[in-house]
A and B are shown apart, each in its own frame.
Chain A
Amino acid sequence: MGRYLASRAAEIVITLVIMSFIVYLLIGLMPGDPIDMLVSGNPRMTSEDAKRLRELYGVDRPLLERYLAWAQQALSGNFGYSRSLNRPVLAILWPRLLNTLELAGLAFVISTAIALPLGVWVAARPRSKADYMVNLFCFAGISAPTFWLALLLISLFAVKLGWLPAGGMADPRAGTSFLAAVGQNVRFAALPVATLAIIQLGIYTRFMRGAMIEVLRQDYVRTARAKGASERRVLLGHAFANALAPVLTILALSFGSLFSGAMITETMFAWPGMGATIYQAIQTNDFNLALVGLLLATFATIVGNLLADLALVAVDPRVSIVDHA
């Protein structure tokens, strides 16, 4: 176990180093540089001043040198400031990471809570009308653009019916009772969570159905039926447990796309999460915020992956950690 975790940790570090370099490189290729912003903010600055500032801040240095300097600072815990918000980037990003986890976590729980039973249910009756309808619905979920779905939900529930807020996040005033605060939270979270959950639902259901159908063809399922096990027991006791392992693997791989989906959902609903923050940072040339935000998102995704793999070990005795290491 210790060796396995150590090798996974090494993997995470390597991924982060590679990602940080790629992102650093790409962000350096975005229009303008930090000094341009200073110049445009101060009309009295001459091009001489700009040149001197570039030397002072080292913007004229070769890329690798700048990256190493940044990495050294980052390793000592200094991730720098956000230019547009004038605060340390980590202080901005932590609470927003929590907001994203709330949004993505709720959407994930809701969509898997529906998708797994639904997938099992239709796998038990392949080619039936119900299977056909669910399949159609899954394809619809996979094919709907996230931002358009958000737009439709806003126009129906916020604009037309006026039931739910079109965007933002609950900000209960001091003195609000706990229950009322939770109620407010739910009202604001309802549409973004629904958007993200609907988008993931189709994919997850198809995974589950596919895995179940694969397992139901195995000999031990036939044996279980032959010895007279009830259909319920065959499905849940024999097949589901075995189909869950591949599904968990794919679920772990979906965290990255869950975050990408959350990015759009957050932007559409003005939900103050990581995705929306990274997008705004890119739009406003807040290089440092975008860079650290992207790394934090990557880190969160890989850790999520690792947790899912550990969960897989817990549910599937055939997967042992020693084989992995």
Chain B
Amino acid sequence: MSVAPSPTRLLWRRFLRHRLAEVSLVFIVLLLILSLAAPWIAQLRGIDPSMTDLHHRLEAPSAHYWLGTDDLGRDLFQRLLDGGRVSLLVGIAGAVLSAILGALIGVVSGYLGGRLDSVLMRLTDGVIALPLLPLLIVLAAIDPRKLGISLDTAQSETFALYRIVFIVALTGWTTVARLVRAETLSLKERDFARAARALGARPVRIMLRHILPNAMGSLVVATSMSIGGLILLESTLSFLGLGTQPPAASWGNMLTGAQELLQEAPSLAVWPGLLIFLTVIAFNFLGDGLQDALDPRSERR
């Protein structure tokens, strides 16, 4: 007689049934490790990825420059890893931030209902339906000094990072909010929520301790599904010169100059774009796999 597997184990098995999600997870973990270890890899290879070297512009791949060099003579492979760190960080941090924001809005909207609910849902629909990109571009172009932020802070790399995370999070919360609201509507009528109310628990406590933990599954799925879109958004803004600022590398800003160099160096346009594409598709498959694993009734089985 074998012992019945634990729920986590079951979940893991169901997840692994989704082959693409499995491959995607491996890809993402590998990319994370490589990009976090980029400084040490650079040291081992004896390459300084930030140093421009005009004698070695646009070199073909070689034993020294694994993927060749860019138009300023920097090693492409190392820049891709550095850019990957930014993209992954912004995508994941942005998704977590938008999950928190969306979960709060969703649970409040669903639990309290009434006027507040209809205002919040109108807002959510508005954010989904309106042309958001131009607004985000304006937001990315504003001068932080006009908000009373000192010049030093405004120009620091950390500030630029926070800013882009904040901007992408502004678009990501809507899906989460709608999902959590829907869950809340059904969870708040369940017996455990009624019992908590009967015991005199305040609404805040019921929302945080009883409803949100039970909505965690769909929250995780929604978050993982939003990472891909947010990485796309970050790369788009950086490509337009409004996200991650050079000399810091990001997959988006590495493509900025590539259009002019299409004739000379097509590979400069291929690699960063390919990595964005593969990473985003990997996160989307991951989300799909998680959804299948967490929702036994979902269709793809």
Does A associate with B in a complex?
yes
Complex interface: chain A residues within 8 A of B255 (CB): 147-148, 151
Complex interface: chain A residues within 8 A of B235 (CB): 145
Interface residues on A, range: 35 or more
**What is the bound-complex CA distance between A179 and B146, given in angstroms?**
54
* Contact A144/B138 with A139-B285, A159-B263, A301-B130 known, Cβ cut-off 8 Å: no
Residue of A with least CB distance to B270: A152
Complex interface: chain A residues within 8 A of B248 (CB): none
Complex interface: chain B residues within 8 A of A154 (CB): 259, 262
- The answer to whether A151 and B137 have CB atoms under 8 Å apart is no
CB contact between A260 and one of B125, B131, B139 (< 8 Å): that residue: B131
A105-113, A183-191, A234-242, A290-298: which lies at the B interface?
A290-298
Complex interface: chain A residues within 8 A of B236 (CB): 145-147, 264
Complex interface: chain A residues within 8 A of B137 (CB): 278-279, 282
* Contact A298/B131 with A145-B235, A148-B276 known, Cβ cut-off 8 Å: yes
Complex interface: chain B residues within 8 A of A204 (CB): none
Type the 1/0 row for B103-140, where 1 means its CB is closer than 8 Å to any CB of A: 00000000000000000000001101111111101110
B246 interface residue, CB < 8 Å from A? Answer: no
Complex interface: chain A residues within 8 A of B131 (CB): 255-257, 259-260, 263, 294, 297-298, 301
CB contact between B135 and one of A23, A140, A257, A268 (< 8 Å): that residue: A23
A19 interface residue, CB < 8 Å from B? Answer: yes
- The answer to whether A290 and B138 have CB atoms under 8 Å apart is yes
**What is the bound-complex CA distance between A136 and B273, given in angstroms?**
18
B300 interface residue, CB < 8 Å from A? Answer: yes
If over half of B's interface residues share one DSSP class (helix, strand or loop), that class is named, otherwise mixed; here it is: helix
Complex interface: chain B residues within 8 A of A142 (CB): 228, 280-281, 284
B4 interface residue, CB < 8 Å from A? Answer: no
* Contact A253/B299 with A143-B277, A152-B273, A155-B269 known, Cβ cut-off 8 Å: no
A127 interface residue, CB < 8 Å from B? Answer: yes
Interface size on B, residues (CB 8 A): 43
- The answer to whether A143 and B138 have CB atoms under 8 Å apart is no
- The answer to whether B133 and A264 have CB atoms under 8 Å apart is yes
Complex interface: chain B residues within 8 A of A253 (CB): 125, 128-129
* Contact A30/B273 with A253-B129, A279-B240 known, Cβ cut-off 8 Å: no
Complex interface: chain B residues within 8 A of A31 (CB): 141-143, 146
A58 interface residue, CB < 8 Å from B? Answer: no
Could you say which of B141, B252, B284 has the most chain A C-beta atoms within 10 Å of its C-beta?
A: B141
CB contact between A256 and one of B128, B143, B252, B259 (< 8 Å): that residue: B128
B296 interface residue, CB < 8 Å from A? Answer: no
**What is the bound-complex CA distance between A155 and B259, given in angstroms?**
9
Q: Which residues of A approach B to under 8 Å, CB–CB? A: 15, 19, 22-23, 26-32, 126-127, 136, 139-140, 142-148, 151-152, 154-155, 159, 210, 213, 252-253, 255-257, 259-260, 263-264, 267-268, 275, 278-279, 282, 290, 293-294, 297-298, 301-302, 305
Q: List 7 A-B contacts (CB under 8 A).
A: A126-B299, A142-B284, A159-B262, A210-B299, A253-B129, A256-B128, A294-B138
